[in-house]
Amino acid sequence: MNVLQELEQIVLDGDVDALQDKIQKLQAANDYDALYNVANLLIEYGFIGQADEIFSQLMQVFPDEAQLKIDRAAALLELGEEDEALLLLTDVSPDEEEYVQALLAQADYYQMLGLAETALSKVREAATLAPHEPVIQLAQAELLLESGRYSEAVRIYEKLHETTEEIAGVRLSSRLAEAYSAGAAYEEAIPFYEALLDKEANPEELFGLGLAYYQTARYSEAVTRLEQLLEMDPDYFSAYMLAGQSYAQQNEDDKALELFRKGIERDEFDKELQLAAGKSALKLQMPQQAEEHLKEALVLDPEYIDALVTLASVYEKQEEDEALIDLLTYSEVDQLEIPLLHAFLAYAYERVEDYEKAYEMYFKAYDGMNEDAAFLDQYARFLLEEGKRDEALSIIQQLVRIAPHEEEWTAFIAQSEEEG
């Protein structure tokens, strides 16, 4: 057993004292090559701090060794010592053989800080120095993908894919599928997803293909792939939503509701699934079940506007005025500034004969509802009932502007002008 194998066994055994003793013996023997290999072994097994100590000691002996600067900088980045790492990397001069490697390490540093453009500039500089190096081209494509420049990333991935399927553990077909999908080029993404899944099915790519099918209106194919995914991983919650939506697009609302409810069984705290189930139940003429799901969504998030509006619409349609008033008063609808909800409250207050509050809510709803003929009609009738003829006339004039064939109201305006 050589020194490296012996040390690897010590690391696997977790014998820290024996590890430290062995390192000290190598240091005493000035066995620098072995120490360098040991440092890389320690990094491989996650002993970053110990590896950094060895790199630091080696740099005292070889202060101008560029590779040591790069290796220690990588260790320091792992340890959160970014500034010291950058100093080492920038100390590698352009005339050194390792300069391209240092540029790539700097790109990793800037990428980690969220400075994508600076990282990209470092990779591009490396690419000019080594234009035919696939790993550098891949690094450039990866940064472009991460920064949302999908078409640029695709061009590089496509060129690399012409000669190989995998670089540095990255499957180019997978990246092309991801980049095309991220750029909403779903048709182009589909063949890559299908090719990947023909070799091996995995949840992320099954979902990606399901989404691509959904976005291209191939709903039955989306369902097939998403249900395959759920058989593989029943806790892949996004698949329940997308599969249900795919059924809904085919007007199979009963199957959509079933999928949404299956998702809720796995995660009862998913407010979006609760809302989707509520909407499906409404389409199936199941208002009680819809109400249950919508209420649950609002328990999970009292400010969930879509659920609030949907439930309020249920109450308004059924004229459950007390429930509607309680819902919207509890939700502080005045602060939400949603005209439709103000209109619902106006109708409810009018039906329960609280005309003062009804008037207030009609007024608040008007600015956002002044293109809605049905609202304007009801508002006008309310104002006339309340004896507010001049205000009603203004509303009726607006109604006639957007619905000029409303004979009752055009006649009302003509009569008002005659009485003038």
Neighbours of 63 (CB within 10 A): 10
CA neighbor of 376 nearest in space, from 386, 391, 355, 387: 391
Global pTM exceeds 0.85: no
pLDDT per position as a tens digit, 297-307 = 999 998 899 99
The H-or-E segment that residue 167 falls in is: strand 166-167
Cα separation, 242 vs 210, in Å, equals 8
pLDDT per position as a tens digit, 264-302 = 999 989 999 999 999 999 999 999 999 999 999 999 998
Amino acid at 309: V
- The per-residue pLDDT for 420 is 59
Instruction: Please check the confidence at residue 345 and state whether its pLDDT lies above 70.
Output: yes
Neighbours of 337 (CB within 10 A): 11
Q: Please state the rounded mean pLDDT for residues 58-69.
A: 90
Per the DSSP assignment, residues forming a β-bridge with 170 are 167
Instruction: Please check the confidence at residue 1 and state whether its pLDDT lies above 60.
Output: no
CA atoms within 13 A on the CB side of 261: 14
CA neighbor of 87 nearest in space, from 100, 106, 110: 106
Cα separation, 302 vs 304, in Å, equals 6
3-state SS, residue 172:
helix
Instruction: Please check the confidence at residue 203 and state whether its pLDDT lies above 90.
Output: yes
Cα separation, 353 vs 71, in Å, equals 79
247-284 in b/e form (b: 16+ CB < 10 A) is: bbeeebbebbbbbbbbbbeeeeebbbbbbbbbbbbbee
- The per-residue pLDDT for 414 is 84
pLDDT per position as a tens digit, 362-417 = 999 999 999 999 999 999 999 999 999 999 999 999 999 998 888 888 888 888 87
Where residue 45 falls among pLDDT bands split at 50, 70, 90? confident
Whether 6 and 22 have beta carbons less than 8 Å apart is answered as: yes
- The per-residue pLDDT for 32 is 83
Report the share of the chain in percent with pLDDT over 70: 98
Where residue 46 falls among pLDDT bands split at 50, 70, 90? confident
- The per-residue pLDDT for 331 is 64
Q: Of 154-163, 330-339, 393-402, which gets the smallest average pLDDT?
A: 330-339
Contacts of 393 (CB under 8 A, 6+ apart): 412, 413, 416
3-state SS, residue 212:
helix
Q: Please state the rounded mean pLDDT for residues 206-215.
A: 96
Domains (ranges, CATH) in the chain? 132-200 (1.25.40)
3-state SS, residue 218:
coil
**Locate tokens 């400075």: which residue?**
115
Q: Which two tokens stand for residue 179?
A: 């980049």
Contacts of 384 (CB under 8 A, 6+ apart): 392
Tell me the pLDDT of the chain averaged across its residues: 90
CA 208, chain centre distance (Å): 13
Per the DSSP assignment, residues forming a β-bridge with 167 are 170
- The per-residue pLDDT for 22 is 74
